[in-house]
């Protein structure tokens, strides 16, 4: 639909300013987007495009200026921007990797648009199918098992599902295949027809000309005006971006064809590839093309030692085995991934460290890094690649996406590779720097190096490469060289490549369909439960064969009573570990409550006394939970440091109140706590019911899903409207209240105000959670898993006693179980990632 210029603007950013230290990212920039228009936002890397959109979406707070969405003012509040109808697809999808696709879509749309949880699967499947009927993305798949392209599609589907008034697309096509780019353009046409204002950021000038009605140009943080696209030539747009006329010519190609090959690969087979043979000459750049998923990327990754494969490979005549990336780098190959965020940069390390890590040996003298030499090399490379940065010591994540890519290329070149393996060399890089990168790759080749480049841009391959190999179904279907290396020839070779190999085709389609149902099952939070249940049963059966007393009701009853305390403590720990926290004060909190109860419940029993003791339990637990949260959230201490301080303080309080064990608990209270249902203690029944209810909440309620989302990626969760501070407070309070509940069966066990009663439960609760499938990094595990972890620990302790083993064996076995559990759980998750 034609832009509606009379309606109030869909988005107005008025005189917006933003600085990061010395870097003036935006200097009084104004952008007005009308309903129903596609507005291109263009500029070189670091011009300020993402910052401006970050401000529009509320993720970044400006220093000055105003933002209006649909006429309503909003600043620095992602939740409000979302409510006003803004949706954004960022350069890196704002998804929570440990959550499923369906859960991400659910959290990612406004509350009014969310289905009931029972409808979640069909609702998400419907959204995905609306994108593409034959999509291979499963609603139940965990996001960290998806390819980067699939993650982008999920993020786009999420943004479209928001029915936005303003849709921001920040370099959306960098990771998409051409058929998905077409689909995206169809979707853009659909939403603008409905009156949505779309902001389209891209370095691909052709795309911008094709899709945009108007463009606004940014240069070095300053607005350079808004223009109607109609009548604006490609050259003129480039001139507006760069500020001067630029030659868009590729540097001249060179080759030393009569020298022996630098890299020879013969009959190489492996994941997604079949029988590939190539010879790369010194000074040559070979391009790999093809419809995405046809093996060209798999082949490059196999050469980098990242994908397993078989065949003969030699570099400079010397045979090489490529089982590991280390083999490839030792042979002189340097790989640059197309997934910069996940594989190429260390976000929290400085720009200098990211530059030097592939070639640090050059700066080491006598085992010590010479930072002056490291800094000098980094400065030279950053200047040669025209990287825009504040200070070299800033973390690389402070750079714009394109500038990060330039640092990665500089880092690989600094290692002086014999063969450079580059997947999408100019992803997210602006037009001026693109030419700079082509020039540098060509210069490297002219000096005797060589490169293999995968690119989805046929024009780029045509301009840069001496030869282009077109892949189809894992094999080289066509080779273009000399005069034939043109954009049109490459595109037509891709379209006509019909190399049908049934066997490999089946393999390739299996690979593109993602991991099998069984491997996907291994990555679920339920897999650890099955594994532990099997181990518990096997261990029980083994002990029962050796000692018939093991199966007695008396033994079971005692064991389950012990388990109740540990299982509740483990549930407490799990509640906090879900958001990536850890609570070392769990044990002493249980101890301090036992001690306080020994004052309230030791004399004759009264109704008021019982109510008082329950209130005291809850008040102590909530005070401790709130105190821990204050130390972590507003004060900013690491959870381990904060809760270690609370651990010491609580233990001190227990010892002050009861220097030695004293204050026998009233017998009637003990009888109530220790009631049995048959031979099963009532406390154990309660624990199981509590764990099942908590798991229901964790997987089937908004609060539980958002807790896991926070643990998975706090930034993405915040952008999905989840308040990190509030969610963490809920986790800390849940942890302390559950620890308070755990002190009830503990009271039933010790029966007296013992100041040391809880101390062991801190480490044991962490162990139970880890064994049960929980992760110290957050987002993983379940409450039933934590209970099963506790059962296994208790069972090992009892079994060692029955088997007549010393107490030391309990400690050895617990240590071994933790290592085995972590190894098994993480291996099963990796299996899925490997597909
Ligand atoms: N969090 C931050 N800390 C420090 N500097 C930052 C931060 N975010 C952005 N900058 C700087 O602000 C400037 C503008 O960056 P921005 O990401 O907006 O550029 P861009 O136009 O989107 O570039 P690209 O096309 O490469 O994505 C850059 O110089 C960048 O280094």
> DSSP letters along 286-334, please?
EEEESSTTSSHHHHHHHHTTSS-EEEEEEETTEE---SSHHHHHHTTEE
Candidates 421, 469, 427; CA nearest to 441 is 421
Output the CATH code of domain 11-242.
3.40.50.300
CA angle, 821 as apex, 818 and 825 as ends, to 5°? 145
Give distance in angstroms: CA of 201 to centre of ligand 1: 14
Give distance in angstroms: CA of 166 to centre of ligand 1: 22
CB atoms closer than 10 angstroms to residue 769: 32
Q: Is the Cβ–Cβ distance between 52 and 43 less than 8 Å?
A: no
Q: Which long-range contacts (CB under 8 A, 24 or more apart) does 204-208 make?
A: 204/173, 204/457, 205/42, 205/234, 205/237, 205/238, 205/431, 206/234, 207/173, 207/181, 208/40, 208/42, 208/237
- Tokens 């008040």 locate to 619
Structure confidence at residue 804 (pLDDT) = 84
Torsion angle, alpha carbons of 518, 521, 526, 529, to 10: 30
Q: Do domains 11-242 and 263-510 have the same CATH topology?
A: yes
Structure confidence at residue 511 (pLDDT) = 41
Tell whether domain 520-833 is in CATH 1.10.3470: yes
- List residues near ligand 1 (CB under 6 A): 20, 23, 25, 43, 45-51, 388-390, 398-403, 428, 430
Give distance in angstroms: CA of 400 to centre of ligand 1: 4
Nearest-CA residue for atom 6 of ligand 1: 398
Helix (H) or strand (E) holding 781: none
Structure confidence at residue 516 (pLDDT) = 61
Atom index in ligand 1 nearest the CA of residue 388 equals 29
Candidates 494, 488, 309, 340; CA nearest to 422 is 340
Give distance in angstroms: CA of 51 to centre of ligand 1: 6
- DSSP 8-state code for residue 350: B
Query: For the chain, what are the domain ranges?
Result: 11-242, 263-510, 520-833
Q: Which CATH fold would you assign to the domain 263-510? A: Rossmann fold (3.40.50)
Give the residue ranges of the chain where pLDDT is below 50: 498-513, 833-835
Structure confidence at residue 509 (pLDDT) = 40
What phi and psi, each to the nearest 5 degrees, are found at residue 721? 90, 10
Helix, strand, coil proportions of the chain in percent (round to 5)?
Answer: 55, 15, 30
Atom index in ligand 1 nearest the CA of residue 45 equals 26
Structure confidence at residue 829 (pLDDT) = 61
> Which mutation among 40, 43, 50 tests ligand 1's pocket best, with the greatest number of atoms within 8 A of CB?
50
Structure confidence at residue 512 (pLDDT) = 44
Structure confidence at residue 675 (pLDDT) = 93
Non-local (6+) Cβ contacts of 220 within 8 A are: 24, 46, 47, 48
Candidates 37, 82, 94; CA nearest to 56 is 82
What value of ipTM does the predicted structure carry? 0.98
CA angle, 413 as apex, 409 and 416 as ends, to 5°? 160
For the segment 584-613, what is each residue's pLDDT rounded down to a tens digit? Answer: 999 999 999 999 999 999 888 788 888 999
What phi and psi, each to the nearest 5 degrees, are found at residue 793? -60, -45
Structure confidence at residue 419 (pLDDT) = 94
Give distance in angstroms: CA of 23 to centre of ligand 1: 9
Joined tokens for residue 818:
């933790």
Candidates 200, 192, 183; CA nearest to 130 is 183
Structure confidence at residue 514 (pLDDT) = 52
């Amino acid at each position: 639909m034609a832009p509606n210029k009379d309606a109030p603007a869909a988005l107005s950013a008025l005189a917006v300013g933003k600085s990061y230290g010395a870097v003036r990212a935006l200097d009084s920039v104004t952008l007005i987007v009308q309903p129903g228009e596609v507005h291109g936002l263009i500029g070189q890397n670091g011009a300020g495009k993402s910052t401006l959109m970050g401000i529009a979406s509320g993720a970044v707070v400006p220093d000055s200026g105003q933002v209006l969405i649909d006429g309503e003012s909003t600043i620095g509040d992602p939740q409000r921007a979302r409510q006003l109808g803004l949706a954004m697809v960022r350069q890196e999808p704002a998804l929570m990797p440990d959550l499923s696709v369906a859960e991400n879509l659910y959290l990612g749309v406004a509350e009014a648009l969310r289905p009931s949880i029972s409808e979640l699967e069909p609702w998400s499947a419907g959204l995905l199918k609306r994108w593409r009927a034959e999509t291979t993305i499963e609603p139940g798949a965990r996001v960290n098992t998806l390819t980067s392209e699939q993650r982008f599609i999920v993020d786009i589907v999420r943004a479209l599902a928001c029915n936005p008034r303003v849709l921001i697309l920040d370099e959306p096509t960098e990771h998409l295949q051409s058929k998905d780019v077409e689909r995206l353009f169809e979707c853009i046409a659909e939403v603008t027809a409905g009156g949505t204002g779309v902001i389209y950021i891209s370095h691909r000038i052709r795309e911008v000309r094709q899709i945009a009605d108007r463009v606004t140009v940014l240069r070095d943080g300053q607005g350079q005006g808004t223009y109607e696209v109609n009548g604006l030539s490609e050259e003129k747009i480039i001139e507006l971006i760069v500020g001067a006329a630029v030659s868009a010519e590729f540097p001249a190609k060179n080759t030393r064809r009569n020298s022996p090959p630098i890299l020879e690969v013969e009959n190489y087979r492996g994941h997604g590839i079949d029988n590939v043979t190539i010879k790369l000459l010194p000074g040559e750049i070979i391009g790999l093309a093809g419809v995405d998923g046809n093996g060209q990327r798999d082949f490059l990754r196999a050469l980098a030692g990242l994908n397993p494969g078989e065949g003969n490979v030699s570099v400079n005549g010397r045979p090489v085995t490529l089982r590991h990336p280390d083999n490839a780098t030792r042979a002189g190959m340097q790989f640059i991934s197309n997934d910069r965020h996940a594989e190429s940069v260390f976000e929290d390390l400085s720009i200098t460290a990211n530059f030097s890590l592939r070639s640090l040996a050059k700066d080491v003298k006598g085992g010590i890094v010479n930072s002056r030499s490291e800094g000098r090399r980094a400065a030279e490379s950053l200047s040669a690649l025209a990287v825009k940065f504040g200070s070299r010591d800033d973390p690389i994540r402070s750079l714009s996406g394109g500038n990060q890519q330039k640092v990665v290329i500089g880092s690989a070149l600094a290692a002086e590779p014999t063969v450079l393996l580059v997947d999408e060399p100019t992803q997210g890089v602006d037009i001026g720097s693109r030419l700079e990168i082509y020039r540098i790759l060509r210069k490297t080749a002219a000096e005797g190096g060589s490169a293999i480049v995968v690119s989805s841009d046929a024009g780029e391959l045509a301009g840069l490469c001496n030869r282009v190999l077109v892949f189809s179904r894992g094999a080289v279907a066509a080779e273009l060289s000399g005069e034939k290396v043109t954009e049109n020839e490459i595109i037509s070779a891709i379209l006509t490549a019909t190399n049908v190999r049934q066997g490999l085709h089946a393999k390739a389609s299996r690979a593109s369909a993602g991991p099998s149902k069984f491997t996907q099952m291994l990555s679920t939070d339920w897999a650890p439960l099955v594994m532990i249940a099997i181990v518990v049963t096997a261990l029980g059966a083994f002990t029962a064969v050796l000692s018939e007393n093991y199966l007695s009701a008396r033994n079971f009853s005692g064991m389950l009573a012990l388990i109740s305390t540990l299982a509740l403590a483990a549930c407490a720990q799990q509640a906090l570990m879900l958001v990536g926290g850890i609570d070392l004060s769990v044990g002493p909190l249980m101890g301090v409550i036992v001690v306080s109860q020994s004052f309230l419940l030791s004399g004759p029993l009264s109704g008021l006394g019982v109510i008082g003791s329950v209130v005291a339990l809850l008040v102590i637990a909530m005070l401790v939970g709130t105190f821990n949260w204050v130390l972590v959230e507003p004060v900013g201490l690491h959870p381990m440091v904060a809760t270690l301080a609370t651990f010491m303080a609580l233990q001190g309080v227990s010892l002050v109140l009861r220097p030695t064990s004293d204050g026998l608990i009233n017998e009637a209270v003990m009888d109530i706590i220790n009631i049995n249902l048959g031979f099963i203690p009532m406390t154990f029944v309660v624990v199981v019911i509590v764990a099942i209810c908590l798991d229901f909440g964790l997987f089937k309620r908004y609060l539980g899903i958002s807790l896991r989302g926070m643990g998975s990626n706090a930034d993405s969760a915040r952008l999905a409207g989840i308040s990190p501070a509030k969610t963490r407070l809920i986790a800390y309070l849940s942890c302390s209240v559950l620890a308070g509940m755990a002190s009830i069966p503990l009271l039933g066990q010790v029966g007296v105000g013992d100041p040391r009663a809880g101390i062991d439960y801190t480490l044991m609760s962490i162990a139970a959670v880890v064994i049960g499938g929980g992760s110290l990094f957050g987002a993983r595990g379940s409450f039933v898993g934590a209970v099963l972890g506790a059962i296994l620990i208790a069972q090992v302790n009892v079994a060692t006693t029955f088997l007549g083993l010393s107490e030391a064996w309990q400690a050895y076995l617990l240590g071994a179980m933790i290592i085995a559990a972590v190894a098994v759980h993480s291996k099963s998750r990796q299996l899925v990632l490997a597909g």
